[in-house]
Amino acid sequence: GAGVSQTPSNKVTEKGKYVELRCDPISGHTALYWYRQSLGQGPEFLIYFQGTGAADDSGLPNDRFFAVRPEGSVSTLKIQRTERGDSAVYLCASSASPAGEDTQYFGPGTRLTVL
Partner 1 sequence: RKEVEQDPGPFNVPEGATVAFNCTYSNSASQSFFWYRQDCRKEPKLLMSVYSSGNEDGRFTAQLNRASQYISLLIRDSKLSDSATYLCAVNDMRFGAGTRLTVKP
Site for partner 1 in 31-60 (CB under 8 A): 33, 35, 40-45, 48, 56, 59
Interface of this chain with partner 1, residues 63 to 102, rule: CB under 8 A: 91, 95, 99-100
Phi, psi angles (nearest 5°) of residue 4: -75, 130
Q: Is 109 in the site for partner 1 (CB under 8 A)?
A: yes
Nearer to partner 1, 28 or 100 (CB): 100
Q: Which residues, including other chains, have CB under 8 Å from residue 11's CB and lie 6 or more apart?
A: 19, 21, 110, 111, 112, 113
Candidates 60, 66, 72, 106; binder of partner 1 (CB under 8 A) is 106
The minimum distance between CB 12 and partner 1, in angstroms, equals: 17
Determine if the peptide bond prior to 8 is cis (ω within 30°).
yes
What whole-number distance in Å separates Cα of residue 17 and Cα of residue 27?
32
Asked whether 44 and 32 are in contact (CB, 8 A), the reply is no
Question: Could you list the residues that contact partner 1 (CB under 8 A)?
Answer: 33, 35, 40-45, 48, 56, 59, 91, 95, 99-100, 103-109
